[in-house]
Amino acid sequence: MLKKWLGITLALLFLIGLTACGEDEKVDENAFVGDKVDYEIIGIDPGAGIMGQTNDVLSEYGLKEKWELTESSGAAMTASLDNAIDDKEPIIVTGWIPHWMFIQYDLKMLKDPKKVYGGEEKIKTLIRKGLKEDMPNAYKFFDQFHWEPEDLQKVMLKIEDGQSEQDAAKEWVENNEDLVNTWIKGVKPGNGAELRVPYVAWADVIASSNVIKYVLENKLDFEVELLQVEPGPMFASIADGSADAMIGAWLPSTHAPYYKKYKNDLVDLGVNLTGTRNGLVVPAYMDIDSIKDLKAEK
């Protein structure tokens, strides 16, 4: 009898212990944001401009000691964000506008009072030297290519919703004839001439590269080979002439290190989109507003 009671009591004690542990592990709603997210910021691929900027953010805001920027990829970052939002858990990621994630989720970009991310940026078109002379019509097209963040965001969202990159590009182009006509105005068909376009697998550059490929191939009879590469080689291939044009250079801040390195060996065709922004992004349900809030002692 005694043995039995002892057994039950022990079992009960064990259960109580377990519950207590469980509660300890739960995120305390009032805890400091750093403790809630284990002082981790989910980044993307290491060569991305936003990764260098985020490292500068950690230094400039005095966060270097405690905080860690984790490398992943654009796709893995959005997957982590999606999981966290499903469970209403806290998370901090590196993010940028335009991006479908701002349409899909209720998010906020943390204020950056020190402007380490550089504020509003532009996307530029860069081409290899000699393209103007060798392929004046392709040159004219790239020179005339220009659109708005909302356009790009629409294509990105279609891809995220499950459409293939090619179909999303096609649908957008066919629905935006007036704008597309300004890009191809006065451009003579390429008669099958080949163009090599390097791009990095970031949601925005995937979308824009597929759009220009569709236009060049279906409205102008060029052949476009899209080459998926790392950020460094994207710039290097234009500078050494092994590729013809890239349309995803974020400047003046994001890609400043690459631009500085290669600017004398390529041709800058100017801005194709205005109004991008980089930063640290959190779900709207988190109670922080500024990068400054990541520092414990305020």
Indicate the residue type of 180. Answer: V
Strand runs (DSSP E) across 98-169, as ranges? 107-109, 121-128
Residue among 183, 202, 235, 262 that touches ligand PBE (CB under 6 A): 202
Bin 282: left if φ > 0, else alpha if -120 < ψ < 50, else beta.
beta
| CB-neighbour burial class of residue 219 (10 A; exposed 0-12, middle 13-18, buried 19+) | middle
207 touches 226 (CB < 8 A):
no
The one among 254, 259, 266, 288 contacting ligand PBE by CB under 6 A = 254
Pairing mode, strands 266-283 and 40-42 = unpaired
**Which residue lies nearer to ligand PBE by CB, 141 or 202?**
202
Region near ligand PBE per CB under 6 A, out of 109-117, 134-142, 198-206, 279-287: 198-206
Pick the piece of the chain touching ligand PBE (CB under 6 A) from 9-17, 189-197, 199-207, 212-220: 199-207
Counts for the chain of helices (H) and strands (E), in that order: 13, 9
Q: Of 250 and 262, which has the nearer Cβ to ligand PBE?
A: 250
Q: How far is the CB of 248 from ligand PBE (least distance, A)?
A: 6
Residue count of the chain = 298
Tell whether residue 247 is a contact of ligand PBE (CB under 6 A): no
| CA 24/CA 13 separation, integer angstroms | 17
Least distance to ligand PBE from the beta carbon of 44, Å? Answer: 6
Residues contacting ligand PBE: total by CB under 6 A: 14
Task: Give the interface segment with ligand PBE, choosing from 41-49, 64-72, 156-164, 215-223 (CB under 6 A).
Answer: 41-49
The answer to whether residue 222 forms part of the interface with ligand PBE (CB under 6 A) is no
Distance CA 65, CA 190 (A): 55
Q: Does 78 bind ligand PBE (CB under 6 A)?
A: no
Q: Which is nearer to ligand PBE, 198 or 248 (CB)?
A: 248
Position 295: which residue type?
K
121 near ligand PBE, rule: CB under 6 A: no
Q: Based on CB atoms, which residue is closest to ligand PBE, 50 or 291? A: 50
Burial of residue 247 (CB within 10 Å: 0-12, 13-18, 19+) is buried
Q: Does 199 interact with ligand PBE (rule: CB under 6 A)? A: no
- Answer for which of 48, 85, 126, 195 binds ligand PBE (CB under 6 A) is 48
Q: Does 246 bind ligand PBE (CB under 6 A)?
A: no
Q: Does 100 bind ligand PBE (CB under 6 A)?
A: no
**Shortest distance (Å) from residue 277 CB to ligand PBE:** 9
Tell me which long-range contacts 99-104 makes (C-beta under 8 A, separation of at least 24): 99/153, 99/156, 99/203, 99/204, 100/153, 100/156, 100/157, 100/159, 100/160, 100/203, 101/281, 102/153, 103/153, 103/157, 104/157, 104/160
Provide the binding-site residues for ligand PBE, judged by CB under 6 A.
44, 48-50, 96, 202, 204-205, 231, 248, 250, 254-255, 278
